[in-house]
């Protein structure tokens, strides 16, 4: 009955979906696809209710108007024209080892012959320069992998259920871009796929706000896209609500928790209390289910949230998050 009702609601507002090429309800598209794997073969649903889910929309890519040395600076997104792909050109200097990046939309012909244009790279002598060109057709897929990443051989066989829980209080809201970038750089090196790492995301203030569960997204590109598209709404943070979300929802079979996978929870917050020698019952419940990595921004220490001192990170400001992303990522698969 839910399936039928969802279709009726979707079709009643199909004109909106056609106009802006967004799914009317992304979560409902995912639920319907679980009940009906051939969902996207239905042209009506694919083009009106779930065009983004069914890859009917023009791709969205990261766009830089100029070559950049720091790919974090390329955070502008643009909708490509129909038939275009996301392109990333990455240069590594053979002289001093520095990297440069170009990211944009490109015609498929340009992807087949990337040296035909006069880009910033093309105008220079490339003899001492190692240049790679990557084109892809998923939304925001042209964002580079972090320069310092865990190698594939290190993470192969890493079967983890990874729960990301973020305090979205007003005091954290100002760190929105830094947190999105940090989550991307933590997840990007991991083997996110059906067999290995599954990822979920939730926010909390005085109540929890689930974004996606462990069994919702099954590719790295889908997870990274979802992480990059979130906004922190603001409010009053209550760490206990975040812990309740982990225990009562995120790490339950109904939300995709696997008995075969080791659980890891990353909590990002600036909310807290004085250090305690003993765990509260709620903290103990979370620790009994998962290894806990705490990332605290600001002046409050929450050492008791982390499984041990090696899992506790205290950052005086959010600008330091980029310095610990590799270390946090490495902890997930240890």
Top-tier CATH class for 152-332: alpha beta
Higher pLDDT, 326 or 306: 326
List, for residues 159-193, the tens digit of each pLDDT value.
999 999 999 988 888 888 889 889 999 999 999 98
Contact 76, 63 (CB under 8 A): yes
Domain boundaries, the chain: 17-57, 60-136, 152-332
Q: At what angle do helices 176-187 and 321-332 cross, to 10 degrees?
A: 30
List, for residues 222-239, the tens digit of each pLDDT value.
898 888 888 888 888 888
> Measured at the alpha carbon of residue 48, what is the angle toward residues 46 and 52, in degrees to the nearest 5?
60
List, for residues 56-87, the tens digit of each pLDDT value.
888 889 898 778 887 777 878 888 988 899 99
pLDDT, position 258: 93
List, for residues 280-313, the tens digit of each pLDDT value.
788 888 989 999 999 988 765 555 688 888 898 9
If you write DSSP's letter for every residue of 193-204 in order, what string do you get? SSSSBEEEEEEE
In this structure, the dihedral spanned by the alpha carbons of residues 155, 287, 320 and 148, taken in order and rounded to 10 degrees, is: 0
pLDDT averaged over every residue in the chain: 80
Highest-confidence segment of 5-14, 264-273, 302-311, 315-324:
315-324
% of the chain beyond a pLDDT of 90: 28
Question: Looking at the predicted structure, is the pLDDT value of residue 12 above 80?
Answer: no
């Amino acid at each position: 009955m839910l399936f039928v009702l969802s279709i009726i609601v979707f079709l009643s507002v199909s004109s909106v979906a056609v106009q802006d090429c967004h799914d009317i309800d992304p979560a409902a598209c995912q639920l319907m696809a679980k009940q009906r794997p051939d969902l996207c073969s239905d042209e009506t649903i694919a083009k009106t209710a779930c065009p983004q889910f069914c890859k009917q929309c023009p791709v969205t890519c990261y766009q830089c108007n100029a070559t950049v040395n720091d790919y974090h600076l390329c955070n502008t997104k643009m909708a490509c024209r129909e038939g275009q792909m996301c392109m990333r050109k990455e240069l590594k200097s053979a002289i001093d080892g520095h990297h440069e990046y170009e990211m944009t939309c490109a015609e498929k012909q340009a992807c087949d012959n990337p040296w035909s244009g006069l880009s910033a790279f093309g105008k220079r002598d490339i003899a001492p320069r190692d240049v790679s060109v990557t084109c892809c057709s998923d939304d925001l897929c042209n964002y580079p992998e972090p320069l310092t990443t865990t190698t594939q051989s290190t993470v192969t066989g890493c079967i983890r259920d990874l729960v990301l829980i973020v305090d979205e209080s007003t005091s954290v809201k100002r760190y929105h871009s830094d947190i999105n970038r940090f989550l991307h750089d933590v997840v990007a090196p991991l083997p996110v796929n059906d067999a290995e790492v599954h990822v979920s995301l939730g926010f909390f203030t005085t109540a929890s706000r689930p974004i996606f569960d462990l069994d919702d997204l099954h590719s790295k590109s889908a997870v990274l896209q979802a992480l990059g598209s979130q906004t922190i709404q603001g409010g009053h943070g209550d760490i206990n609500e975040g812990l309740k979300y982990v225990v009562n929802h995120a790490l339950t079979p109904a939300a995709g928790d696997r008995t075969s996978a080791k659980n890891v929870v990353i909590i990002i917050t600036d909310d807290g209390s004085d250090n305690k020698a003993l765990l509260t019952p709620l903290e103990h419940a979370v620790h009994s289910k998962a290894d806990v990595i705490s990332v605290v921004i600001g002046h409050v220490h929450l050492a008791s949230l982390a499984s041990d001192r090696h899992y506790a990170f205290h950052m005086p400001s959010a600008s330091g998050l980029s310095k610990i992303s590799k270390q946090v990522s490495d902890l997930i698969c240890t």
